[in-house]
């Protein structure tokens, strides 16, 4: 009869925060370079393992500015990578008899683009639309 006691099972934990790499999005951890995704919820162990970070290159999107009848904003378009903010024109467009009130996510100007928190991704239109209001006398 062996006098060795079995080692307790120790759960594995995903490292936090996830790693970062310029120009890439972190997708997850792989057990091998053959794309066997590692499941931290199903692992227990007392031995060292090697995991490989899986990276996906950032996608770049064209962001177009539609001034809706105003003089075009400069530039008319810019490029942004997934999850980053759009570079806004340095000066707003102009339109005779109107004040420019901001860039919106849709032509009907319902949801204003917040350049401090909104980011570019494949789920949003990549055209920002200018809204115009008549000045108050």
Digit-coded pLDDT (tens) for 72-107? 766 666 777 777 777 888 888 999 999 999 999 888
First to last CA, the chain: 97
Structure tokens at 7: 């080692």
Q: What are 10-22's pLDDT values in tens digits?
A: 667 778 888 888 7
User: Per the CATH hierarchy, to which homologous superfamily does domain 59-137 belong?
Assistant: Listeria-Bacteroides repeat domain (2.60.40.4270)
* pTM score of the predicted model: 0.56
* Domain residue ranges of the chain, discontinuous segments joined by +: 7-57, 59-137
């Amino acid at each position: 009869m062996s006098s060795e006691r079995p080692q307790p099972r120790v759960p594995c934990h995903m490292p936090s925060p996830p790693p970062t790499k310029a120009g890439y999005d972190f997708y997850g951890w792989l057990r091998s370079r053959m794309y066997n995704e590692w499941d931290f919820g199903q692992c227990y162990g007392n031995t060292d393992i090697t995991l490989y970070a899986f990276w996906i290159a950032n996608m770049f999107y064209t962001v177009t500015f539609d001034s809706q009848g105003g003089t075009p904003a400069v530039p008319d378009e810019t490029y942004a990578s997934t999850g980053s903010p759009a570079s806004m024109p340095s000066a707003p467009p102009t339109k005779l008899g109107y004040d420019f009130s901001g860039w919106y996510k849709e032509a009907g100007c319902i949801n204003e683009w917040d350049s401090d928190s909104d980011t570019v991704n494949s789920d949003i239109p990549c055209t920002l639309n200018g809204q115009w209001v008549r000045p108050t006398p």
